[in-house]
Amino acid sequence: MAPKILVAPSLLACDFGRLAEEVQKVQDAGADWLHVDVMDGHFVPNLTIGPAVVEAIRKVSRVPLDVHLMLNHPEQYLRPFIDAGAAYLTVHVEAPGLRNESGLLKALADIRAAGARAGLSLRPRTSAQALKPFVQAVDLLLVMSVEPGFGGQAFMPEVVPKVQQLRQWFPGDIAVDGGINRDTGREMREAGANVLVAGTYVFKARSYQDAIQSLRA
């Protein structure tokens, strides 16, 4: 059975000055998860938020927090983000601090041992093959459909076959992240993705509810 279609608005595009209100509003509009982008200024050329802010979000949220670590050294921050309330914690297969296959497997096992679901992500130019050794060790694959670092970029259609390939190997949750709107979301659902992460499309919409519903339909 195909996994359920889920919508995970990315808080990166919300009004951070009214964070608690935005969380409330997007949940009331039907968000299944909340996607939280964590950037270190090294793995990607941008800085965002840390565990203290995740904890603040957790206090006002009632849906799972899907925390996406875009860090050179995610291994140093697994525990802090899980303690802060991450239900899903995703690391990048390219993170230099995880070094090799055994480093990656250790991080994924550590996430699960700490009580969270383990996610693995890849940049648009990394092949699906790079994730193959890990499909037994993860709960979520997060396919980047833009170069990570910023919201509001254009969807890269070349990732569509990658999602199709990953769906052959992995029965769990496959999320797509970057440039997702009604049209690219449909394309990704058809390719086999079941979790749609969307920042700009949801938070810049006049109606969060209409935007979320259009991703699910």
Q: Could you give the CA distance from residue 137 to residue 72 in angstroms, rounded to a whole number?
A: 21
Tokens of 101: 């296959």
Instruction: Kindly give the pairing relationship between strand 173-177 and strand 65-70.
Output: unpaired
Among 84, 197, 212, 215, interactor with ligand DX5 by CB under 6 A: 197
Pick the catalytic residue from 37, 66, 139, 173: 37
Q: Nearest 5°: CA angle at 214, between 208 and 216? A: 105
Nearer to Zn ion, 67 or 160 (CB): 67
Residues numbered 138-197 forming contacts with Zn ion, rule: CB under 5 A = 177
Among 95, 174, 177, 189, interactor with ligand DX5 by CB under 6 A: 177
Nearer to ligand DX5, 113 or 217 (CB): 217
- What are the b/e assignments for 76-97, b being 16+ CB within 10 Å? ebbeebbebbbbbbbbbbbbeb
Span from 54-62, 81-89, 99-107, 148-156 in contact with ligand DX5 (CB under 6 A): 148-156
End-to-end Cα, the chain, rounded Å: 18
Among 44, 58, 68, 90, interactor with Zn ion by CB under 5 A: 68
- 141 makes contact, choosing from Zn ion, ligand DX5, none, with CB < 5 to 8 Å by partner type, with none
Q: Could you give the CA distance from residue 44 to residue 47 in angstroms, rounded to a whole number?
A: 8
In the stretch 151-170, what mask flags binding to ligand DX5 with x, by CB under 6 A? xxx-----------------
DSSP string, 160-182: HHHHHHHHHH--SEEEEESS--H
Number of residues forming the site for ligand DX5 (CB under 6 A): 21
The reply to whether 177 belongs to the active site is yes
Q: Do residues 112 and 118 lie in contact, with contact meaning Cβ atoms separated by under 8 Å?
A: yes
Nearer to ligand DX5, 30 or 105 (CB): 30
Q: Nearest 5°: CA angle at 11, between 120 and 169? A: 25
Residues numbered 63-82 forming contacts with ligand DX5, rule: CB under 6 A = 68
Among 7, 12, 120, 140, interactor with ligand DX5 by CB under 6 A: 12
Pick the catalytic residue from 32, 139, 173, 177: 177
Residue 35: closest CA among 80, 72, 70, 1? 70
The contact set with ligand DX5 (CB under 6 A) reads 10, 12-13, 35, 37, 68, 146, 148-149, 151-153, 177-180, 197-201
Catalytic residues: 37, 177
The contact set with Zn ion (CB under 5 A) reads 37, 68, 177
